[in-house]
Structure 1
């Protein structure tokens, strides 16, 4: 049997940065585990990001505004530096309205109690004329990893419908941004040889994690580990496609998997999504997994946002909803 390593320990900690060390890894396992953790840290941790921006008087990001030192591009770049933590719900519109000579900072936004801005001193713009008024509206939402703007539907939509396509028109002045949801600013690992008994080829893994302040490096490390463990548990239980075992029925999955027995009320859904699930007699994760995405969409009270929220919560548990 392959010997197990020592438990991880923190060997360096500074604000939102930490270095974790795992000693006694079997030869080759340093790269295996380090690479897996790094990939999950960058791609799979939940965070919040600005996805769209509206600046009054700026129809596009290349606009310049009288009485404001920065142009649209610079303001947009400054806004993308803001890091939010959403404690309840999934998406919020947040507004700023300032008049007169002033340095505009993140703290000038009217932020709801469910949302926390961890870097309120971030510079946004400089108003140079006492008669100038700056109005900004941003859309902040939860997500995983990184999402290009081209893959996301706009949230600022008016009710006008295009006669040719029958779809909603995006409101003029909305600037979509690439969303950087991940709370990880930087992560790297390095592997060194170490002695274990008579052998000198065992691995010592050092993993560096720097976050944006919305979570601690320790929280990020253990959340990434938990995601990997849940995926391996599914494989270990024989639920992976092509495992050679007969695929379990929906009822069997709910009985054999602890995760499937979790109540939907424990997943911290928004009120609208939770009410829709309960109204359709879906009370557990297993109840969700027994239905396809198409079936869920057809249920009363289920909109696109609810489906998106359900898929995100289920994915965090290591499951995926069937497409059909």
Structure 2
């Protein structure tokens, strides 16, 4: 069987999104290839996320935090939204320390040499005048989604987190007919990819294609 001859064109690309065209494909291949790539892009690419959190003075998610406007659950929900650029291996431990009468954002997290916070403007919580926050964040690489109950135990005062590792946030697929010379029974596949900024859409698309090869 002859393999279809097609080309990949980058229609537009930014650090957070991109539009890519694969054409021409035999009739029917557009939906088949598009759906396969979409599934792999959303579920099978490796990324980084917080898996554990240690908050000074807090032993569990329903504990109270003195001097912090939000409760522990609200803070954990915000921490889940932090996205990282991390290409290393193993676990990275980052710290966040802040005192008195200020809003706390992801920019207050101290990056390591290998692990960097991408969405630094993300609001985390607000401290009262005499409030203080001292947090250790444990960042790991993996694929897909892992529930808190499945995370490794690190001690009674370390909170396990639900973690979404996928660097791809959204994928849309569109298929339309295209002409090749006199033939009009070919598919043009357009894939729009939105990422968290840790990987370009074109790189994510290449990795997904390699997993399907």
2:201 is the counterpart of 1:224: no
> Which residue does the alignment assign to 1:71?
71
> Which residue does the alignment assign to 2:196?
212
Cα distance between partner residues in 2 of 1:67 and 1:3:
64
List per-residue Cα deviations over 1:130-165 (Å, max 9, x = no partner). Answer: x221111111001112222233323x2xxxxxxxxx
Q: Structure 2-normalised TM-score?
A: 0.91
List gaps (5 residues or longer) in structure 2.
Answer: none
Cα distance between partner residues in 1 of 2:181 and 2:148:
53
Cα distance between partner residues in 1 of 2:65 and 2:140:
27
Secondary structure of 1:8's partner? strand
The residue correspondences of 1:265-284 to structure 2 (distance < 5 A) are: none
**Aligned pairs, number:** 213
Cα distance between partner residues in 1 of 2:64 and 2:173:
43
More helix by share: 1
Preserved contact between residue 64 and residue 70 of structure 1 (Cα < 8 Å) = no
Cα distance between partner residues in 1 of 2:151 and 2:126:
31
> Which residue does the alignment assign to 1:6?
6
After TM superposition, what 4+ stretches of structure 1 lie above 6 angstroms from structure 2?
A: none
Cα distance between partner residues in 1 of 2:178 and 2:63:
58
2:180 is the counterpart of 1:196: yes
| Rg larger for | 1
More strand by share: 2
> Which residue does the alignment assign to 2:104?
104
List per-residue Cα deviations over 1:249-284 (Å, max 9, x = no partner). Answer: xxxxxxxxxxxxxxxxxxxxxxxxxxxxxxxxxxxx
> Which residue does the alignment assign to 1:321?
none
Cα distance between partner residues in 1 of 2:147 and 2:31:
29
Measure how far apart 1:186 and its partner are. 0.7
Preserved contact between residue 89 and residue 114 of structure 1 (Cα < 8 Å) = no
Preserved contact between residue 184 and residue 212 of structure 1 (Cα < 8 Å) = yes
List gaps (5 residues or longer) in structure 1.
Answer: 157-170, 230-324
The residue correspondences of 1:10-25 to structure 2 (distance < 5 A) are: 10-25=10-25
> Which residue does the alignment assign to 1:138?
137
> Which residue does the alignment assign to 2:165?
181
Measure how far apart 1:66 and its partner are. 2.5
Cα distance between partner residues in 1 of 2:179 and 2:192:
22
Preserved contact between residue 2 and residue 26 of structure 1 (Cα < 8 Å) = no
Secondary structure of 2:203's partner? helix
List per-residue Cα deviations over 1:168-213 (Å, max 9, x = no partner). Answer: xxx2232211111110011121211223344433211111111100
Preserved contact between residue 49 and residue 180 of structure 1 (Cα < 8 Å) = yes
Q: Which has the higher contact order (CA 8 A, sep 6+)?
A: 2
Compared CA separation, residues 176 and 194, structure 1 to 2 (3 A): same
Secondary structure of 2:110's partner? coil
